Structures are given as structure tokens and as C-alpha cells.
Chain A
Amino acid sequence: MNSPTTFTPVGQDELDWLGTDPVPTRPYYDPEWFELEREAVFRRSWQQIGHVCELPENGSFIRRELEVLGASLLITRGKDGEVRAFHNVCTHRGTILVDEEAGKRSTFSCPYHMWTFGLDGGLISAPDFEAFHVTKAECALPQVACEVVGGLIFVHFGKPESSLREWLGPYANKLEMMPVARATTFSEYVYDINANWKLTYDNFQENYHLRFIHPSAAGPVTSPDNPFAYPTAYDFHGPHRSQRIWTKPDMDPPTGVQAMAFQRGAVCAMSDGILGTETAKDYLGLFPNFFLFGSPMQHFSHTVYPIAADKSRGVIRLYWIGEDETPSERFAREYFMATARDVHTEDRAVIERGHKGLASGALEYLHFQTQESLCRHLFNMVSERVEAYRAEKEGVPA
């Protein structure tokens, strides 16, 4: 049965403000540019770093490494239930305080000379402290700004110009409406990639590649009137952006094991009350490096952590509400995780190939079409910040 032609792509006129010029390639591989990004982008932005379900109880903690800023973070839930972030660095002589990735404790002792800190970062005790020339209050763990929206934990290493909520604007509400806000657990897979973080991130904010790179997954979601499965809308707020995913109206129903996974998964999503929500088709890209897809059945986040100009790490999480309540739910969740992993596998391979080509220096410019406008927007946002930082450093007005 053929559906009427209903799809209209977002027009270029709506996106003209982003510009149409070719985009210089250097920022996508140049180590010097990457050095500037560390400060201009990553020290000056809120960054997504975890979820409150990782800190289920007072005394829970996680350790997170943020290579882009050479930082190790200790994130705790205090006796008062507050989530706080600290540099995971002993204030005596700088030793990394906590080794474990996660756990539950009431104090943290440094192995070197046994300085002991509380969940609120305060120095509780230190052997022979009388011999020092400083007060305990001056020796608290250095705190990092930390705020939670929609269950997602964000940190800011500089002095935030605005609260996380203000910075996210209307997207804060969207996060609160999505299942992630109520998630209690997740599935996670992680990949390392020899590619710049922007190239990696860009892959996930254009649909132009779907039918070529994901032939098996993209087949069912494209149609003659939307052969590239372009989104129905783009939206921008400050440095953030989003798209509304288009779904084929007359999609063939799945068959075989896939059909069973969808059927069982839908029952679970229904009982969690997350089917048919307003945000189900929203795919948010929060600056600088975080995605969240509102789909209730495959509600995944994807963070691309920069490591070097040519190295990144992707962390994908499918957030779930409640533990596996039934064997059917367990089956559906494992199947959906494996499905998403298959798709991301295909992306990873082609992104590395893209980085290699650009890093050869063969091209001075790359090209973004209308339906790659989210990539262009990321480039604009990053280069604005890098240029401003550069000007500031050199003492010339931007």
C-alpha cells in the first residue's frame, strides 16, 4: 500500500543563517586547534558526565576520567542526599584519591599519608596535622560545579555563566519529560575511535549517510518521498540543537525474532507509561558532546569524549525504568541494546575512515549540505568559542 507523498524536507531558507560556505578542515584534525578547544569549549561548558541512578544511596560515589581536561572527578551523594563533584585529588600533595570506579563509602582516605575526606569533600582527619601550617577548612577537596537535570549529571570546570537549567533553556523541560528523568538503570557499551570528537559527533547528527552505511536498518525507515530519512524539523537553542525524527507512515511490520522483541518491549514500555510521549521523536544534541534520543523503546544517550585531536571515546547508554521485571523485558532490553550496537558499529568504522582522509591534509575544505546543518551548527559554535578565546589570549578584541 502506497502512502500519499507527505514528507517535506526542511528548506534551506530556514537554515540560511548558519551560512553556506565550505568549512575548513583543519579544526577537525589539527592538534593546535584541539588544544584551544580544551579551554574554549570544554572548560567553559556544562558537560554530561553521569546519571543519578549511578548514585542510588547516600554515600554512593563514582569516579570519572575526563581526558580532555586531564581531570579525574569524584562524584558523591552526600549524607544530605546532594550530588556533588570534586577533583579526585588529595589536597596534601596531589595524589589521586580514589581508585575504584564506583562504590559506597562514608569517607575517602588517601593511600599516601592517610588524609581522610568526607562525602562533602571536607578534610576530616590527617595524621600529625598539627605540624602543618594550614587549617582543615582550607584543605577541602576542590569542588567542581555540578547540577542535575532530567536525572542527568552535568559538571562545569570553569565558572558557569549561567545555571545548567538556564543554559539548556527549553531543552531542560524536554529532558525532564523523557524516560531518562525516571531511569533507574541502563545498558552501556563503549568504543574507542581514532577520530576527532567533532567528526565522530557529526556522524550522529546527519541522516544523509543512513541508507549507505546502515543498509539493513535504514531500508525500513526510508520511502520514495523521503529516500534519506531526513528529519521533519530542526531546532536550535544557543549552542544546542535538535531534530525531529521522521517515521515512515506505512512501515512494514517487523518479522521473526525482531517482531517478538518489539511486541514484548512495547508491553513493558506501556506499563512504564513511556509510550506515545510528546518527546518520543526528539533527538537532542546538547553542546558540546552529548546526544539523547527520546524514543521510548530505544532511549539512548551518546556522549563523545575527546581524548586527543585524533582520538575519542564514545559511551552509549540505553536508559531503563526499573530492573528487568520479567524475562520478556530482559529479552527485549538485550535485543534493543544489541540492535543499537549493530548500528553504531557501522558508524564507527566509517568515521575512522573519514578522519584518516581529513588528517592527511589533502583537503582544505569540506562541504555540508542543507540536511547536514546540525554539523554546520556545531562547527559554528565551536569556532566562535575558539576564536573568542584566541582573541582573549592574545589581548585583541574578537
Chain B
Amino acid sequence: MSTQTLLPEGFSGLEPFVTGWALAGSAARAGRRGASTPEERAAFHAAAAGELPRALDYLDAKGFAAFDDADERLMNLMLSLGHVALAVEQQKDAEPRHARDRAHMHITRTPAGA
């Protein structure tokens, strides 16, 4: 069973962000937030935040057991969105300094896989 598209049907608008943000592992996703530029974060958040409810509904309906590669990528993309949203919605201008301090906090375990 090969997946021709990067993301499940209906989510192709997010495909430009797959390479940069659909990362496996909580620590890698947090690290990507820390290493990103304000422009990257803004573009990803603007494109993805509105799709979050629909993406989670779609993935919930499917269930982990039935995930294919495209579903997995969509999941990881949304998990990264959570990290990026903290920068865009909460930290805002404080994010660069925050990122430096945050590097001391090492994620060692999560149910999703650290």
C-alpha cells in the first residue's frame, strides 16, 4: 500500500510544511520550534491553525491502528503546530530569548515517543 500524496485527502494545502514540520518525536518537534525563524513560524501557524479541528477530527475517526504514512505525517504536523502555537500565540516577541533558555529543558519521555 503506497501513499501517493504526502498528506491525507483534503489536507494538501499543508503539504509545503511537511518537510519542515512533520517530525517524529516530541523532543525533535520542540527543537524545531526552537531553531525556527519568526517567518517560518508565522507562515506555518497561519496555514495550519485553522485546520487543526478538522485534522484532529479526521485522525480521531481513523484511529491510530489504521494510520498510514500520510496520517502519521498529518499527526506529527499537528503536534508541531502545538509547539509553534506557544511561540506565536503566547511568547510572541519573547520567543527568541525564550528559545535560548528553553534549550536547558530536555524532553526525556512522552506517550507519543520523546
Contacts and interface: CB of A to CB of B under 8 A. Distances in A.
Contacts of A395: none
Interface stretch (B12-20, B35-43, B59-67): B59-67
Interface stretch (A127-135, A148-156, A200-208, A325-333): A325-333
A257 B52 contact: yes
A320 interface: yes
A217 B90 CA distance: 8
Contacts of A187: 26, 107, 109-111
A112 B60 CA distance: 52
Nearest to B84: A257
A334 B111 CA distance: 9
Of B79, B104, B107, which is in contact with the most chain A CB atoms at under 10 Å from its CB?
Answer: B104
A191 B86 contact: no
Nearest to B83: A338
A331 B111 contact: no
B1 interface: no
A345 B104 contact: yes
A330 B75 contact: yes
B98 A345 contact: yes
**Interface residues of chain B: helix, strand, loop or mixed (majority):** helix
Nearest to B110: A187
A193 B113 CA distance: 25
Given A187-B26, A264-B56, A348 B105 contact: yes
Interface string A334-369: 110111011011101100000000000000000000
B49 A256 contact: yes
A258 B85 contact: yes
A323 interface: yes
Nearest to B104: A191
Nearest to B91: A216
Interface in A43-60: none
A235 interface: no
A21 interface: no
A325 to B, nearest CB: 8
A250 interface: no
A346 B105 CA distance: 11
**Size class of B's contact patch?**
35 or more
Interface in B78-114: 78-79, 81-83, 85-86, 89-92, 94, 98, 101-102, 104-112, 114
B108 A190 contact: yes
A103 to B, nearest CB: 15
A338 B81 CA distance: 11
B102 A341 contact: yes
Contacts of B26: 187, 334, 337
Of A217, A257, A342, which is in contact with the most chain B CB atoms at under 10 Å from its CB?
Answer: A257
Contacts of A190: 105-106, 108
Interface in B1-57: 26, 29-30, 45, 49, 52-53, 56
Contact of B82 (A216, A320, A324, A335): A335
B110 A333 contact: yes
Contacts of B91: 216, 342
Contacts of A188: 107-110, 114
Contact of A341 (B45, B63, B89, B107): B107
Contacts of A337: 26, 107, 110
Interface of A: 185-193, 215-217, 255-258, 260-261, 264, 320, 323-324, 326-328, 330-331, 333-335, 337-339, 341-342, 344-346, 348-349
13 contacts: A186-B109, A193-B104, A215-B94, A216-B91, A255-B89, A258-B89, A324-B112, A327-B56, A327-B59, A327-B62, A330-B79, A335-B82, A342-B90
Given A191-B106, A264-B56, 19 more contacts: A186-B109, A187-B110, A189-B106, A191-B105, A193-B104, A216-B94, A257-B45, A257-B52, A260-B56, A327-B62, A331-B78, A334-B83, A337-B110, A338-B82, A338-B86, A341-B105, A342-B98, A345-B101, A348-B104
